[in-house]
Amino acid sequence: MSAENSKLTIDYTGMMYSSQNPNGFLREELEGLQTSLDKAQTSLSALRETGNMDFSKLLPNMKTQLPELLAYADQAASKFENFVVLGIGGSALGPLAVHQALNHYYYNELTPENRSYRPRFYVLDNIDPVRFQELCQVLNPNKTLFNVISKSGNTSETMAQFLIVRDNLRRLCGENYAEHLVVTTDQAKGNLLPIAIKEGFKRFVIPTGIGGRFSELTPVGLLAAAICGINVEELLAGALQMDQWIRETSGVFSNPAQLKAALSYLSWQKGKNISVFMPYVDGLKTIADWYAQLWAESLGKRNNRSGQVVSLGQTPVKALGVTDQHSQVQLYTEGPDDKVITFLTLEKFKRTQEIPIDPDLPEDIQFLGGRTLDELLFAEQKATEYALTLAGRQHQKIILADLNARTLGELLLLLEWETAYMGELLDINAFDQPGVEEGKNGTYGLMGRVGYESKRQQIEEFGKEKHLLSQI
């Protein structure tokens, strides 16, 4: 399935019934979900109007901010040698995924000239003290810009990083330290906002109705992309094109988000509790990390909308073709039939690499000579699809015509809309994350935040009984 102007195709042959795939779905099964999908479309349209679907309102969200963001990005790129994102979850996974997809795979190792004099790019998405200190050791603070991303300003990990970085900058950069910090946060509230205003940090706004995992196509991700030379206008154009296709089309065999959600829902109903996302492109490897958060945090819920305990959700698994043909595919073909596999691939790579011909080589490898690496990769992917089909295992494929900003924008919006539709089919709220909050509150208590003393006491009582093994 592919729209006339889209550069993205969904090949769901491996999900459908055939003589080779007797475990596949019948067309009637997908059609049987149409009433539910129509209801979901109506509900999501209403949510879009009330502000809970702001990831689908890209143009109004970015119309006022984009010119300012692009101007600031060019200015920052000419001034700084390093750009560091301080964030976690979607604030880190989105920027990193887009960067690795669209920029040179070894971008930071390129000479400044070959990076078009754009800064090196780093993402600090964890609080391991060794990693944190080692990055600080290799960066000159006077030549580094830090982007602090937290909508609430309550994110313990990001705020801890920020406090350390700000202290270092004050000591090493003096009164100009504020020029080395740019903040992406809420427009009107949160703990980071008043600090940014008081200390004069440059600020960009995260739209109100967008959670972290849906925020890549806002300043959360667009600032990093623009500073590192990615065409964010094309990224948004592709996303808007996909958004329009999905919002203005009805029918499970016409609307890509409805089709993807229907396939996922039927798979889940038939015991496929694991969703494997497997790019066959190294540049899209981190898209699988971004997808894993999107799918897990949106759809893993204890309660449905009626408050009933349902404890549902598919577990996302990241894989990379062809690397994980040698580590995971054995399980997928012969292990439990509890997985649905989505391949992500291209019609063509932007470069090719010929394999040399050498008649003196052993006959068993001479067949490779004169072929190319992309031919080999496509052959391995097709062979894996064939093996899965023979084993009766469900699989589908998303194909991008090329890997560029426009096609990547289409892909991101498709996966976000699929997640939203899946939430409706499951009758759960795909836009909250109550299971994460308990861990956050526990951290606050253990770290001494005022008002969380009882939580600390609960955790300490909980942890009194221990079962340990250690060598004497």
Q: Which residues are catalytic?
A: 297, 326, 440
**In one letter, which amino acid is 283?**
G
What whole-number distance in Å separates Cα of residue 51 and Cα of residue 40?
Answer: 16
Q: Contact, 127 vs 310, CB < 8 A?
A: no
What CA–CA distance (Å, rounded) separates 311 from 428? 10
Residues 220 and 184: beta-carbon distance below 8 Å: yes
Cβ neighbours of 19 (radius 10 Å): 5
Cβ atoms within 10 Å, residue 462? 9
Q: How many residues does the chain have?
A: 472
Query: Which contacts (CB < 8 Å, 24+ apart) does range 201-210 have?
Result: 201/148, 202/72, 204/65, 204/68, 204/69, 205/65, 206/149, 206/151, 207/54, 207/57, 207/61, 208/51, 208/54, 209/51, 209/52, 209/53, 209/54, 209/57, 210/54, 210/55, 210/61
Judge residue 177's burial from the number of C-beta atoms within 10 Å of its C-beta, 0-12 exposed, 13-18 middle, 19 or more buried: buried
Q: Which two tokens stand for residue 256?
A: 């890509």
Could you tell me if 51 and 208 are in contact, meaning their C-beta atoms sit under 8 angstroms apart?
A: yes
How far are the Cα atoms of 2, 50, 174, 299, 403 from residue 179, in angstroms, in the given order? 46, 37, 10, 40, 34
3-class secondary-structure state, position 397: strand
HSE on the CB side for 459, CA within 13 Å?
16
Nearest by Cα to 191 from 224, 160, 145, 223: 160
